[in-house]
Homo-oligomer: A and B are copies of this chain.
């Protein structure tokens, strides 16, 4: 008998009909002889509707109360799922994040899980009950106030619970049936991947694949919890994310896929004196403003005036603030102009096979050349190559790379309704 943790997203639960379908899957898993813990998000539009109400009573709602409000969403979906499971003849109990022992930091709206003490869940499982646990929420370990985990919170709840309960697998259900070699809406012959390592999934998530949230993959990797990405609309086994890249025999290492990202902006500071400490002024100021930096490039300095340029990318939403901060600093320091460009996009190739296949970078750059895509920045890791280019070029670049590295399947990928997660 296995212990299976399943996570269902909001679009899988957007109506009573879909809730019943989710309940059927849960009961089927139980009847196969497994213990089941299902972590559920709020129904479809609930969160948006609640945010709308909040804005009507207070344009800047206090975060603690916003968390109280939003957690009502999972309370509703979870109790409904439990009722639906019971109507199918299995015993079920729903639990809030607090009742499930999800203890977090005090940062309302974006709390981190500190510890999971799922005593009540274990007890209910021992009694043969299906446990339905509210995702996205926890309780502040100190003040006992209700918190929410921010973006991708329900995935993180599921993985953290799976780790605390020593589950055999954590299944992440949404409206796509696995991890693809590229976004099928951009690359029609994208192929579903059967299995990939945690490192490969981390790189894919980091460079724009939206199927799994980075922090949940990091959590699963840290506790070695196999993840299975599945669709709540099919019985496809989906994609297994498990194991370390190190364990993949060299001859089996392949390229995983192509990802695109158009959520970043590019900032350039010209004419920086090429001497120690100038760069750190920039990056400390950006870090103090809690802006995440992705790609960074520093040019060799000019022979004439001993000055250099620094370019970096950051989330587009933070771009204007970054420019404002740097423009202030420019006045105090002897720097040139600050340039801003939010028409950029990033295309990346990921795969453990990169290590054992020489010439990947050459093929990569030739593929872009052949489709006339200009590279503005390049960054690499051991198993990834990313290039910054015009936003308008990234789809074409993705298709060219996907073809060049022969990642496609023989058929057109299935794309389900919905917007993903």
Contact = CB atoms under 8 A, between A and B. Distances in A.
A212 interface: no
Interface string A62-100: 101110110111011011111110110000111000010
Contact of A71 (B19, B53, B66, B75): B75
A84 B93 CA distance: 34
Could you say how many copies of this chain the assembly holds? Answer: 2
A73 B53 CA distance: 13
A86 B58 contact: yes
Contacts of A375: none
B86 A76 contact: no
A94 B65 contact: yes
Contacts of A81: 57
A61 B64 CA distance: 31
Interface in A1-58: 16, 19-20, 23, 50, 53-54, 56-58
Contacts of A23: 57
Contacts of A68: 75, 78-79, 82, 94
Given A68-B94, A82-B65, A82-B68, A58 B76 contact: no
A59 interface: yes
A151 interface: no
Interface residues of A, number: 39
Contacts of A94: 65, 68
Nearest to A84: B57
Interface in A249-297: none
9 tightest A-B CB contacts, nearest first: A16-B56, A68-B79, A69-B79, A58-B87, A58-B83, A57-B84, A72-B75, A72-B72, A61-B83
Given A65-B92, A69-B83, A72-B79, 8 more contacts: A57-B84, A61-B83, A65-B82, A65-B94, A66-B79, A66-B83, A68-B75, A72-B76
27 contacts: A16-B53, A20-B57, A53-B76, A53-B80, A54-B80, A54-B83, A57-B81, A57-B83, A57-B87, A58-B83, A60-B87, A61-B86, A65-B80, A65-B82, A65-B83, A65-B86, A65-B92, A68-B79, A68-B94, A69-B75, A69-B83, A71-B75, A72-B72, A72-B73, A72-B79, A99-B144, A120-B144
Interface of A: 16, 19-20, 23, 50, 53-54, 56-62, 64-66, 68-69, 71-73, 75-76, 78-84, 86-87, 92-94, 99, 120, 144
